A and B are shown apart, each in its own frame.
Chain A
Amino acid sequence: MRRTLRTMTILLGLALFVAVPPAVDAGGSPALLGLANRILIYAIAAVSLDLIIGYGAMVSFGHAMFFGLGGYTVGIVAYHTFGGEPLLGWSGTNAALIVWPLALLVCALIALVVGALTLRTSGVQFIMITLAFAQMVFFVLVSLQIYGGDDGLMLERRNQLPLIDLAGPQTFYYLCLALLVAWTAICALIVNSRFGLVLQALRQSERRAINLGIRPFPFRLAAFVISAVGTGLAGVLWANYARFVTPDMAAWSKSGEFMAIVVLGGLGTLLGPIAGTAVFIALEQLLSAWTEHWMIVMGPVLTLVALFGRRGIAGRLFGGRRD
């Protein structure tokens, strides 16, 4: 019964996203496509963050750094490809199949270092240290004068994929949708795997796991890196969507936004954060049209969900169990 409801909700959600471009063609507002595209991109980051917060109890308050790093890798390569001087002797490329994996690799390496240092701690210390690292990345991006400093970097054009024309807004939208579906499926696979079982056990009872012969650190680090790569992918897509990257992508407020989205959608549910993203971004759009102080409304909504919403939107829909 619950399983059927879940499947129905997934199919309905998917159908809604698929239907957006035709609906816009049929006379809907063109702004709708942009809104839906932003939801898809943020949802990839939200699902990634849920992997470590919801399943691993690693409350990263610095995940925007990977969003920023993913975006800036695309931006910086593009800057050198179109116009700028070569980057360390490399004249750059606009091929997505090279730039995107490169961006994800950058995120993975930084996450490996940051994770190795921060995962010595847990709880509040972990929150603060991830925040500190994200702030470091933020200020490095601000200080990169050749890449625009505070103002950020414009991209000449989107990256190129063979056979798929990313310049078309609808094509790009469907690519983002496909990547969100694929990434969520991968995360679901991980969560339900042996690795996922151990990761969740570490969240629930570290002492039990340790006394079964499990060393917590490698599992947490691996999950942290996977999560960072997913968030980096969102950053890559954002850079291509907006054709513009700014240090704000790595700002602490962005990290907070991702966390708020995950809480709103439901920790440890993977699908919840997607719904959370849709609600958050739609609310933001509606409220900010009404008043620039839209956080006055959004704040209390989040507080109420955190206090009373059992596991957020997904908890309401599918009940309490994490699976």
Chain B
Amino acid sequence: MTDALLQNAATPVLAIEGLRKSFGALVATDNVSLEVGPGELHALIGPNGAGKSTLITQICGEIRPNAGRILFEGRDVTALRAPARARLGLGRTFQITQLCPDFTAIENVLLSIEARHGGSFDMLSNPRRNAAHLELARNWLDQVGLAAQGDRTVAQLAHGERRQLEIAVALARQPKLLLLDEPMAGMGAEESMSLTRLLQSLKRRYAILLVEHDMDAVFALADRISVLVYGRVVFTGTVEEVREHPEVRAAYLGEDRPC
């Protein structure tokens, strides 16, 4: 069992090695390598069009890279599809909310719980009547501050509440690694701050890869930051190092985001 031998404490939860993806002439991911250690919150920043979302979709397995490897807890998952990776413990939220709009908030979380328990071919028992799972689902909603909204459908929730629900759904799957794709997108200052507090409380409990434009949030949360420009990681370092780095300032922080 070489897999078991490799999994010592130093094994990063996620390791990307030389990942490359091109669409025709456009190289969206250009030889990207990065690591997320156990309990680490690694932020990924970069201007629009830098290839952050393309990278995330490769990590979760929705699209395949042209070259390179993705290791999850030391295991090569490059060939696995998205559902298999999710079952290994890779959870994500989406930049554009992906929830079941006709379901209530609690049903969305229940779906996640049922998916985790497998054997979903059960055609007899109603998960909405499973007291233990309902209790769990309420707990997750409570954690993200949606305790009072459980019985409202997603269509009835405010934008910020949907973003919170995204996180509850991802957490209920009990992942080992969380990929958060711009969780603050479209949120007001107030909502961003409460979400930052929520992420703060999740830190250390999960390895997290956070893609975010809100620099206040990134600087407040991140252990390390990688800067992605035109598909390349131009720099990886601590918050202070990134603040000071001239290339980063020039490439991203110093100028307005290109549209």
A205 and B123: CB pair below 8 A?
Answer: no
Partner of A196, one of B84, B87, B123: B123
Which of A189, A198, A205 is the most central at the interface, judged by chain B CB atoms within 10 Å of its CB? A205
Count how many chain A residues have C-beta atoms less than 8 Å from C-beta atoms of the other chain. Answer: 27
Task: Give Cα A197 to B99, complex, Å.
Answer: 13
A196 vs B128: C-alpha distance when bound (angstroms): 11
B111 and A201 within 8 A (CB): yes
Interchain CB contact (< 8 A) of B126 among A193, A200, A322:
A193
Residue of A nearest to B128 (CB): A192
Centre residue among B62, B111, B126, B127 by max chain A CB count within 10 A: B111
Instruction: Name the contact of A201 in the complex, choosing from B60, B84, B100 (C-beta under 8 A).
Output: B100
B206 within 8 A of A: no
Give B223 Cβ to nearest chain A Cβ, in Å.
24
Tell me if B99 and A194 are in contact (CB < 8 A): no
Q: With an 8 A cutoff between CB atoms, is A222 at the interface?
A: yes
Give the chain B neighbours of A222 by CB distance below 8 A: 121
User: Residue-by-residue, is B104-143 near A (CB-CB < 8 Å gives 1, otherwise 0)?
Assistant: 0001001110111001111111111000000000000000
In the bound complex, do residue B107 and residue A197 qualify as a contact, i.e. CB atoms below 8 Å apart?
A: yes
Please give the distance in Å from A250's CB to the nearest CB on chain B. Answer: 28
Stretch at the interface among A10-18, A29-37, A107-115, A210-218: A210-218
Question: CA A321 – CA B123 in complex, angstroms?
Answer: 21
- Does A195 lie within 8 Å of B122, measured CB to CB? yes
Q: Which residues of A contact B71 (CB under 8 A)?
A: none
Q: Which of B99, B121, B128 has a CB less than 8 Å from the CB of A208?
A: B99
- Asked whether, in the complex, the Cβ of B123 is within 8 Å of the Cβ of A213, the reply is no
Query: Is there contact, CB below 8 Å, between B120 and A219?
Result: yes
Count B interface residues, CB 8 Å: 36
Does chain A have a CB within 8 A of B173? yes
Contact A211 B86 (CB under 8 A): yes
Within 8 Å by CB of A194, from B86, B92, B125, lies B125
Q: Is the Cβ of A192 less than 8 Å from the Cβ of B111?
A: no
Decide: A198 and B99 in contact? CB cutoff 8 A: no
Residues of B within 8 A of A205 (CB): 98-101
CB 8 Å contact bits of A250-272 with B (1 = contact, 0 = none): 00000000000000000000000
User: Does any Cβ of A come within 8 Å of B237's Cβ?
Assistant: no
Our pick among B82, B99, B102, B119 for the contact of A200 (Cβ within 8 Å) is B102
Q: Is B83 an interface residue (CB 8 A)?
A: yes
**Interface pair A212/B62, CB less than 8 Å apart:** no
* Chain B residue contacts of A209, Cβ below 8 A: 111, 115
A interface, CB within 8 angstroms of B:
189-190, 192-198, 200-201, 204-205, 207-215, 218-219, 222, 321-322
Task: Give B contacts to A, CB under 8 Å.
Answer: 60, 62, 82-84, 86-87, 91-92, 94, 98-103, 107, 110-112, 114-116, 119-128, 153, 169, 173
Some 5 contacts from A to B, beta carbons below 8 A apart, are A192-B126, A193-B122, A197-B111, A198-B114, A212-B115
Kindly list 4 other residue pairs between chains A and B, CB separation below 8 angstroms, not including A189-B124, A208-B100, A215-B83. A196-B123, A197-B120, A198-B111, A222-B121
